[in-house]
Structure 1
């Protein structure tokens, strides 16, 4: 069953899906399917994912980005997603917000990474108005000089996706699975993970953030709230997700190559 929010009728239509605790692999498969097989515009909000999971960008190399031995020892799932961006570890403390849009949805918006990023920051400025010192720094959402939101994108011929992992809270011990990347934003200043990131819970409640995001999206678009089960894919659409779990064998091979390089 769908419901049109009437306060912005006449504006471009945005389908809104609110989820709770959907596994991140399932969410990423859904996003990729909607990007590649749908011609509609979508906003997906997923409040947490049950099992801690490492998620890497499409070009990420495990040996450079994660501590492979602890990951293997603790059976930590590692996903390579279909979009670019950095490596994150997500869990129940992560809130995910995704926009999947046609290139002509927003008048004047050039379909390139930086303009899309700037547009998203304008929308989140409405959510965080008067809260902390919110800004977009390089490719991150920050309060002051501490990151709380990491972004990734993919741009196709006619559509684009922009998705964010918001750290409402995090488990300190899980950060030990991540290496400090060789390519890091300048404002990081070589800080370790715990000195670089912050928790949204120190600034805003989960419900206020989700409600605020929904309100901000509704101020730009006519929202069509829909359920996951009601999403239909064209019968002639061929789709095989590229987002996948890395196998134990792949991680072991990456660990072996890492050992060989360090002993060379």
Structure 2
């Protein structure tokens, strides 16, 4: 018996699914279905998505978007099933998601703060000896710069915690996002480019993924699965995660313009 096998004795099982370049809409809809229709633990790792896409939280306001260029450039906008903020993702983003049963991590209550704290401890192992990593106001940061944003969805017996890691990013895409009115205190009103950093300056993509899987083994017995082997076709399910239509975005832009005009008159 190897040391790794001995360490895993008695740990709950977690299915590991690695993907590469899977469209973020497909990934989020899969995660939502696995959360709500299965009783297994899952770790989903997607190494990049296919095209630049804006992803908004369940109740994220369109006011966080520069709607005119978003519509003009036909940038897809998704409203996901979980909470959290608005991000733009692209092939330089690495996604890691944990879908867990509430009782399978001892001592972790199914509430946002305990789950965030647990995830921070896991990623502290991943980034051990690399930069000044810590969890800060629900963000993963290196020094004073954010490189990982989180969102969660919590049900009665299960929860999902997913993260988009900025391994790399295109500065031009940041122009589609407005500065949020509510932001972490440590942001100090910095613009997007000054606020974030690239993970590629500290770690390769493959090393990050390998270290994340290894850190997960401290809490679960990890079983790799191929995406094609996941059969959820027999379960009827309609995901709430969806692509917003051009009409919805245009309507939001009209509302913004009308509101701006009224404020100017007043």
TM range (shorter): over 0.9
The 5 A counterparts of 1:1-264 are: 6=5, 8-62=8-62, 64-233=63-232, 235=234, 237-264=235-262
Whether contact under 8 Å (2:105, 2:219) holds in the other structure is: no
Whether contact under 8 Å (1:22, 1:46) holds in the other structure is: yes
**Shift of residue 86 of structure 1?**
0.4
Distance in structure 2 (CA, Å) of the matches to 1:43 and 1:19: 11
TM-score, normalised via structure 2 length: 0.95
Stretches of structure 2 lacking an aligned partner (at least 5 in a row): none
**Shift of residue 116 of structure 1?**
0.1
**Shift of residue 232 of structure 1?**
2.4
Distance in structure 2 (CA, Å) of the matches to 1:246 and 1:167: 24
Q: Which has the higher contact order (CA 8 A, sep 6+)?
A: 1
Q: Deviations over 1:124-174 (max 9, x none)?
A: 000000111000001100001100000000000110000000000000000
Partner SS for 2:218: helix
CA RMSD of aligned residues (A): 1.1
**Shift of residue 234 of structure 1?**
7.7
Partner SS for 1:130: coil
**Shift of residue 183 of structure 1?**
1.1
Q: Stretches of 4+ moved more than 3 A in 1?
A: none
Whether contact under 8 Å (1:37, 1:234) holds in the other structure is: no
**Shift of residue 6 of structure 1?**
3.6
Q: Deviations over 1:221-245 (max 9, x none)?
A: 111100111112383x431000000
| Number of aligned residues | 258
Distance in structure 2 (CA, Å) of the matches to 1:219 and 1:119: 12
Compared with structure 1, are the counterparts of its residues 23 and 198 closer, same or farther at alpha carbon in structure 2 (3 Å cutoff)? same
TM-score, normalised via structure 1 length: 0.96
Partner SS for 1:49: coil
Distance in structure 1 (CA, Å) of the matches to 2:39 and 2:236: 14
Distance in structure 2 (CA, Å) of the matches to 1:141 and 1:39: 28
Partner SS for 2:206: helix
**Shift of residue 188 of structure 1?**
0.5
Partner SS for 2:16: strand
Distance in structure 2 (CA, Å) of the matches to 1:115 and 1:67: 34
